[in-house]
Chains A and B, each alone.
Chain A
Amino acid sequence: MADVLGDIVEALQLIVTGDPEILGIVSRSLLFSGTAVILAILWGTPLAMLIAMKDFRGKTVIKTFLNTLIGLPTVVLGLILFLIFSRGGPLGFLGLLYTPAAIMIGQAILVTPILVSIGVSAIESVDPEIMSLSKTLGASESQAQVAVLKEAASGIILSDLASFNRAIGELGVVLLVGGNIAGFGNRTDVLTTAISRNVQIGETGLAIALGILLVLILFTINIIVVVLRKANYIVELAKGPYAKLKRSRETKR
């Protein structure tokens, strides 16, 4: 028991003193997961728009398939990606295995089903008249789609944050394609994998410190979601810096 208490005290000391090792791991986690979510947004948002806005055969099947993928054990996905990226695999020639790029791609693939399914339901919950309304006001097909997307903004942002949550807390895929490389060159150890390694090598204090920080990050994101929802700022946010700029210009006048 005294050991555990000692480890916790050590963990808190490491956090408070801003240990460079810890800072490195945290910033890698944020960078990899952030990039992964941006990647997923780039291909996931158009996919969500396609599924939600177009009528085609097999739509329900695709939606069910996506929901199933959300529950796919990450170790299985990790294994599949490992086989694809490994030297003998179809993409082995890219030499991506055990690199930061592999982690980011892996996490992006992992979060795509979440991002797309929440995105689809957000877009589908928009009043169907918005599309016709935009068109009768002169919008082209793509302009009308943007109008629908704007109406779904709060749900879309929620899907992005949920995806980030999932990515940063992920272990299986990161371990298998990232390799948890520490110490030299292109390090690929992140919060989750570093916790796992440090427990194994007996650095329990460091592991606890990383665990606390991981939970803090997740907690902060969820607080942001709650606050944004409550203040209804999400919609404003989605309109981006342009809207804010315009507002400040207006107040100056």
Chain B
Amino acid sequence: MTVTAELKDVTKAYGSKIVVDAVNLQIREGEILALLGPNGSGKTTILKILAFIESPTSGEVTFQGEKVNFKNTEKERLQSTLVFQKTTVFGTSVYNNIAYGLKIRKVPKETRDREVKKALELVKLEGFEKRNARKLSGGEQQRVAIARALVLNTKLLLLDEPTANLDPKNAGILEEVIDTVNRENKITIVMATHNMFQAKKLPHRIALMDEGKITEVGTPAEVFGKLSKNLASFAAVDNTFTGTAKATAAGTSKVDVGNGVQIEITAQRQGATVVFINPQDIILSKAAVESSARNVFKGKITEITDLDPLVKLKVDVGKPFTVQITKRSFSEMGLCLNAEVFITFKASSVHVF
């Protein structure tokens, strides 16, 4: 097993605020490693340190067997690239965006054209070369950002919540791309996510993060298997709830997650259980809808975040749920803070750990 990068006792503080706290982490060649944790747990900072655009306050980083000198990381930066959570594109054509890193690496024009074309095919944006990147939709811009990183064929590819702001279609395309470049191009990937479902599906290993510390590292099976130990960390992740399950007469189970919220699941369970509901699987409505879905809760909107083209809402139904809807639905439904809404999801779309 070759180690691509390693963090040894890495701490990062901004003023007196410690955001990464004595982290030790090995990134193995060829793997997909997911940093799973709630917002503000230090995932982004670790990625920026691994991208060599942020230097640790203390501790040591090695990259490809060599200790990194953070005073000058120009050489290392050519081998590690980060795709930001907030999509940023240069105010120029899609071609110029994707070719930027290749131009810096002095790749000849013919090769550049070919590589840009290949990268655009990979993210399903064929023929977009001449379009103005700023005029694309949010999802398309994020795909341009991924293509711009992929085209560089770096040793290490870092993705910060690559699908957090995307609709299911764009998110699906990206997950496929991540899987493909890892398998076929053998690119080592570190991705930050607070989506439990994604963390279970894509990566080879998961590093569970909470308050700047890594609390657990292992394969998804190992990490999710030690649920009781990591309950606190899991509970901080969006739409993840812990509670006690009881079988129902109908062959399903109900998980009591507290505050009067009982979530119905299809699996037969007894005792301590962790459930996760993908924010995209939740239907939001102003009145209770009659449907086959087993879980319907009434609550109030407590937080609205604009993630163009999506809107992320926090709905308090006794427990806080994160719901993602399109901006269009949001304005058509005339939603606002404190509005009373219903959330609905199927028992079969609840992921049980």
Residues of A within 8 A of B (CB): 127, 129-130, 132-140, 143, 147, 150-151, 235, 239
Contact residue among A127, A129, A139, A151 (Cβ-Cβ distance under 8 Å from B104): A139
Question: Which residues 66-107 of B have a CB within 8 angstroms of A?
Answer: 74, 77-78, 80-82, 84, 86, 88, 90-92, 100-101, 104-105
A147 CB to nearest B CB, Å: 7
Whether A132 contacts B53 by the Cβ 8 Å rule is yes
Q: Is B284 an interface residue (CB 8 A)?
A: no
A250 CB to nearest B CB, Å: 9
CA distance A160 to B51 in the complex (A): 37
Q: Is B148 an interface residue (CB 8 A)?
A: yes
- Closest residue to B98 on the A side, CB-wise? A137
A242 CB to nearest B CB, Å: 12
Whether B88 contacts A129 by the Cβ 8 Å rule is yes
CA distance A133 to B48 in the complex (A): 11
Given contacts A135-B77, A137-B100, contact A130 B88 (CB under 8 A): yes
- Closest residue to B51 on the A side, CB-wise? A136
Further 8 A-B residue pairs, CB within 8 A, beyond A136-B51, A138-B81: A129-B88, A132-B48, A137-B104, A138-B104, A147-B90, A150-B92, A151-B90, A235-B92
Whether B101 contacts A135 by the Cβ 8 Å rule is no
Whether A138 contacts B105 by the Cβ 8 Å rule is yes
Contact residue among B82, B90, B105 (Cβ-Cβ distance under 8 Å from A136): B82
Q: Report the tally of A-B residue pairs with Cβ distances under 8 A.
A: 49
- Closest residue to A140 on the B side, CB-wise? B74
Whether B100 contacts A235 by the Cβ 8 Å rule is no
A218 CB to nearest B CB, Å: 29
Contact residue among B53, B91, B105 (Cβ-Cβ distance under 8 Å from A151): B91
24 A-B pairs within 8 Å (CB atoms) are namely A127-B88, A129-B84, A130-B88, A130-B90, A132-B48, A132-B84, A134-B100, A136-B53, A136-B77, A136-B82, A137-B81, A137-B100, A137-B149, A138-B77, A138-B78, A138-B81, A138-B101, A138-B152, A139-B100, A143-B104, A150-B90, A151-B91, A235-B92, A239-B92
Which chain B residues lie closer than 8 Å to A132 at the CB level?
A: 48, 53, 84
